[in-house]
Amino acid sequence: MLLFKKKYLAAIRSGEKTQTIRLWKHRRMRAGQRSYIPGVGYIRIMAVDAVELDQLSDADARPDGFPTADALREEIAQLYLEQLEAGYRAYRVVFAME
């Protein structure tokens, strides 16, 4: 299951948001896996790739629903401060509605 803040659910349902960046100790999902987003429904995981946050471009941020990479990094810093400080790895999870 992937949990999202309510403010992102409409963008996911409309297909505007098709990926998320998550900070994990270890990869928790894999391509081909089916998952559930409460308030949205079932999705199919298309890809899960390790990324470097400082290397993300504006083009990387748009499928996540952000206009710029800086805006995406700011949101990640707010949501995952403890994980960032603990050295967790960033993963880009690309998904599609089923």
- Over residues 76-92, the pLDDT tens digits come to 999 999 999 999 999 99
User: Per DSSP, what are the bridge partners of residue 35?
Assistant: 43
- Is position 1 within any domain? no
The pLDDT, as a whole number, for residue 93 is 98
The pLDDT, as a whole number, for residue 26 is 94
- Is position 61 within any domain? yes
- Is position 74 within any domain? yes
- Is position 84 within any domain? yes
Supply the pTM of this predicted model: 0.94
- Is position 15 within any domain? yes
**Dihedral angle of Cα 41, 92, 58, 75, to the nearest 10 degrees:** 70
Enclosing domain of residue 53: 6-97
The pLDDT, as a whole number, for residue 38 is 96
CATH number at residue 21: 2.30.130.30
Note the pLDDT tens digit of each residue in 23-45: 999 999 999 999 999 999 999 99
- Is position 58 within any domain? yes
Q: What is the tally of structural domains in the chain?
A: 1
